[in-house]
Amino acid sequence: MKNSFDLIVLGAGSGGLAAAKRAASYGAKVAIVEGDRVGGTCVIRGCVPKKLLVYGSLYGEYIKNANSFGVEFTDARIDSRVLLTNVRKEVDRLNKFHIEFLARSGVELIKGWAEFTGPNSILVKDTHEEANFRELQSSRILIAVGGRPNRPDIKGASLGWVSDDMFLQERFPEKIVIVGAGFIACEFACILNGLGSKVIQIVRGSRLLRGFDSDLAEVLKKDMQLKGIDLYFDQEPIAIDRNKGGIGITTSAGQFVDCGGVLFAIGRTPDIQRLRLDVAGVKSSKQKIEVDMNHMTNISNIFAIGDVTSRVNLTPVAIDEGRTFADSVFGNKKRSVNYELIPQAVFSQPEIGTVGLDEDNAIEKFGENGIKIYSSRFRPMSKSLSKRGENCFLKLIIETRSQKIVGCHMVGEHASEIIQMAAIALGMGATKADFDRTMALHPTISEEFVTMT
Ligand code: NAP
């Protein structure tokens, strides 16, 4: 068993896997260390199983709208046990696929938790047998261990779930309280609502999705409320107690809610505590590892990518950072990640897709008179027979001087798919005239983007 490598990657999530395989493709001797399941947050307990739950939960709406299309369901019911079981099977398949792919790529997978014993050395403790150690040496080490969900510091917090726990449930409860107003809170509120649970979402501020364009958040809020999701704004949980078979949550506004489960979706923190970064001399600030544009920490042979840094914490960013690192360091193809115009989606119902500046940031950058807004709100054709269901909202923000589109935002069906394509145009510097010159594709939702006046 060799213990000396050209690269040791800590963490077999999306970023770590991408970096390890790319480095190995250049002939580097690579090991990847993982204490949990190969695949990381995105594949095992994040984007992938979440999106499968989204697909499952959409059937709730389809069933409600079906009779206007002449489709009758006499015994339609949603069983979250079946959905959760099938999602776990798919996650198992992907986990196996990633393990096999590592082997095919020539990367050695070392199972266990890693800690630094020096700037070039790592101790791996076997996940199951604490007494089983392995010492590894490497000329370069890449930290890609990702993050863990936060829990609030309140009485009874351990009675609540975090997003990881949602995928381990046998079935979802009839009534759930979700704390938070970010990506995870809004996505799970819509998933659980679609699967038939009563959802109460507790938001400490006065709006959803701080950091996103406020018009998008407002459209989503109204549609979530129309679907029966109760949003309690301007309050936070202060205590959780066991309560006749379920749990009870008390809020700062004096409300008390009985429910079958509480999900905390209040942000994530890098999972760096057990790495013993101090032993290697790696600096962190506010629990995030500081890196330069080459992903290098303050120690020149130690690098970090993905959610352990203060950059944008999204899977595609971590993957691109991992590949860029490997190309630059092992492939002699120096390049850097383009952090401009990163498209983002919230897989809520309706879905949100966005790229570029929101209205507040555009005003801050160009001034009130420096931008022009175009927007359109309508009921999509797919809902015209049922006359119920989600609306669409499209918004373009133009910088008046250059006429460039600096923000392209959407709420509604297929928003993520549409905005992914719009991001290409924005990245090429598209102007309003470029959009206007593009022939509409009819009848679609996205044709509105090229016909806005
Ligand atoms: P998030 O988007 O940062 O949102 C955190 C939410 O929790 C905010 O609404 C915040 O309120 C609230 N909050 C924070 N501390 C709180 C407290 N003590 N009590 C009550 N509320 C509190 O975090 P997240 O939804 O947990 O998601 C974590 C990360 O996962 C995201 O940043 C993203 O990188 C990733 N993610 C991405 C996707 C996607 O791409 N579709 C989906 C899921 C997750 P304020 O607004 O007042 O601060």
Q: What is the mean pLDDT of residues 251-255?
A: 96
262 C-alpha to ligand 1 centroid (Å): 15
Name the band, by pLDDT with cuts 50, 70 and 90, for residue 131. Answer: low
Which atom from ligand 1 is nearest to the alpha carbon of 210? 46
Tokens of 184: 């995870």
Q: Among 188, 240, 231, 225, which residue's Cα sits nearest to residue 206?
A: 231
Look at residue 269 and tell me whether its pLDDT is greater than 70.
yes
Of 245, 240, 236, which Cα lies nearest the Cα of 159?
240
pLDDT of residue 388 exceeding 90, the answer is: no
Cα dist from 20 to 5, 104, 320, 367, 400, whole Å: 12, 12, 12, 45, 45
- Centroid of ligand 1 to alpha carbon of 344 (angstroms): 14
Atom of ligand 1 nearest to the CA of 347: 41
264 pLDDT more than 70: yes
Residue of 14, 154, 183 best suited for mutating to test ligand 1, as the one with most atoms within 8 Å of CB: 183
Q: Could you tell me the pLDDT band of residue 129, with boundaries at 50, 70 and 90? A: low
Looking at the annotation, which residues are catalytic? 442
Whether residue 54 has its Cβ less than 6 Å from ligand 1: no
**Average pLDDT value for the chain:** 96
Which whole number is the average pLDDT over 408-435? 98
Nearest to 22 by CA among 415, 252, 326: 326
Asked if pLDDT for residue 186 goes beyond 90, the answer is yes
pLDDT for residue 8: 98
* Residue 161 in contact with ligand 1 by CB distance below 6 A: no
Contact 346, 211 (CB under 8 A): no
36 Cα: distance to centroid of ligand 1 (angstroms) = 23
**Which mutation among 166, 184, 207, 411 tests ligand 1's pocket best, with the greatest number of atoms within 8 A of CB?**
184
Confidence of residue 2 (pLDDT cuts 50, 70, 90): low
Among 431, 449, 323, CA closest to 395 = 449
Q: Could you tell me if the CB of 316 is within 6 A of ligand 1?
A: no
pLDDT tens profile 52-103: 999 999 998 899 899 999 999 888 889 999 999 999 999 999 999 999 999 9
Query: Do the beta carbons of residue 419 and residue 353 sit within 8 Å?
Result: yes
The Cα 61–Cα 59 span in angstroms is 5
Q: Rounded mean pLDDT of 258-263?
A: 97
Separation of 147 CA from ligand 1 center, angstroms? Answer: 13
pTM of this structure: 0.96
d(CA 99, CA 39): 8
Q: Is the dihedral of CA 389, 390, 391, 392 positive or negative?
A: negative
- Classify residue 205 as left (phi > 0), alpha (psi -120 to 50) or beta: beta
* Cα angle for residues 229, 235, 240 (degrees, 5° grid): 85
Element spanning 316, H or E: helix 315-330
Give CA–CA dist 166/260, Å, rounded. 13
Length of the chain measured in residues: 453
| 297-312 mean pLDDT | 97
